Amino acid sequence: MIGQFTEDMVRIFGAELGCALGFLHDIGIIHRDVKMENILLTDNGHLRLADFGLSRRLERGGRAFTICGTIQYMAPEVLSGGPYNHAADWWSLGILLFSLVHGKFPVPPEPDHSSMLRKVRNFPYEMPLSFSPSFALLITELLCKTPFRRLRTLDRFKRQTFFHGTTFDLTLLQRQPVEVILELRERPDRAAKARRGLTLSLQPLKGFDYDSLLSPPATPDTQLDAQPQMAAPLPGPALRLKPVQEKGPRREVFV
């Protein structure tokens, strides 16, 4: 076990990321690289979805075929070369939320997309006993291997039992500081690290090994050419959760 966030904290993160995906999909954009490294944090601990280097225009009903993304977050239909659509982003969100609460990925990453596809197809995604029933149900809905049965809309996401009592009004969400981020903000070495282009130390999250969790050795990312980073859809200053330190070779695959 590497370390975990609480479900209460992830509930806020999930609501904000769900709103971000719903916004993007409504305007005809698929992100295709939802992962921890592409999440920014404001001083109050709220999220910005960033790095649109792999995103593309995709209207409702459209299909994509390019194998791209970060291998341990890629939906099975992406790993197989398509066709796929916006439902692939919701799969990636499921992997992200699972990993934040459990402390490790549901399936260890493989060195190539073909091997990863075989593992994803054969893995039952049994829920850890530490998950609450409502969170386990949410993950089950997001990690459905059949895209047209998967939870793939913001409206359905909001209706999940896990989010009962949670507001999806972004203005109200912004008024609820995430305490662990406030603790990081008060660290005396914050200014010096910011000047060096580094993010804050995550010591308050004891035992949470981001390098091991986010960038396992020999895990290639399948990426397109990098594009300028953007953050959407929420305004305001942001900090990276961690410096982007990719490990292992990177390659491009076009289908």
d(CA 211, CA 193): 18
- As a whole number of angstroms, the distance between CA 221 and CA 163 comes to 32
Q: How big is the CA angle at 42 (ends 41 and 43), to the nearest 5 degrees?
A: 120
Q: Which of 33, 51, 89, 221 is flagged as catalytic?
A: 33
Query: Would you list the DSSP string of 27-42?
Result: TTEE----SGGGEEE-
- What's the rounded Cα separation, in Å, for the pair 147 and 164? 25
Q: Give me the residue label for tokens 């695959």.
A: 253
Q: How far is Cα 190 from Cα 110, in angstroms, rounded to an integer?
A: 36
**Helix/strand/coil percent split, the chain, to 5:** 40, 10, 50
**33 catalytic residue (yes or no):** yes
Q: How far is CA 254 from the centre of its chain?
A: 23
Name every residue whose Cβ is closer than 8 Å to that of residue 251 and which is 6 or more positions away in sequence: 220, 222, 223
**DSSP per residue over 152-178, as a string?**
-SHHHHHTSGGGTT----HHHHTTS--
Buried b / exposed e along 99-113 (16+ C-beta atoms within 10 A): bbbbbbbbbebbeeb
Catalytic residue positions? 33
